[in-house]
Amino acid sequence: MNRMNFAPRMPTIIVALALTLVGLLGTFGGVLPETAGLESATIGVWALLVGFAVMVVGILLPGI
């Protein structure tokens, strides 16, 4: 029987956790500097979305 989901590896979890922390600091804390014309909240939302995507990829693909 083929498995449809896998446990993400530790590096994947660490990257997703770091992106989530950046996202929380940017979105709710407003402590990130304005970078490339993007506000702190915008950077935070993008970091949260990318962190979510990293975890989904880590769940769906083996070895990531």
User: pLDDT-derived band of residue 26, with 50, 70 and 90 as boundaries?
Assistant: very high
Burial of 59 (0-12, 13-18, 19+ CB in 10 A): middle
Is 27 in contact with 48 (CB distance < 8 Å)? yes
User: pLDDT-derived band of residue 39, with 50, 70 and 90 as boundaries?
Assistant: very high
Amino acid at the residue 25: L
Domains in the chain: boundaries: 1-35
Counted residue by residue, the chain has a size of 64
pTM attached to this predicted model: 0.86
Amino acid at the residue 46: W
Amino acid at the residue 1: M
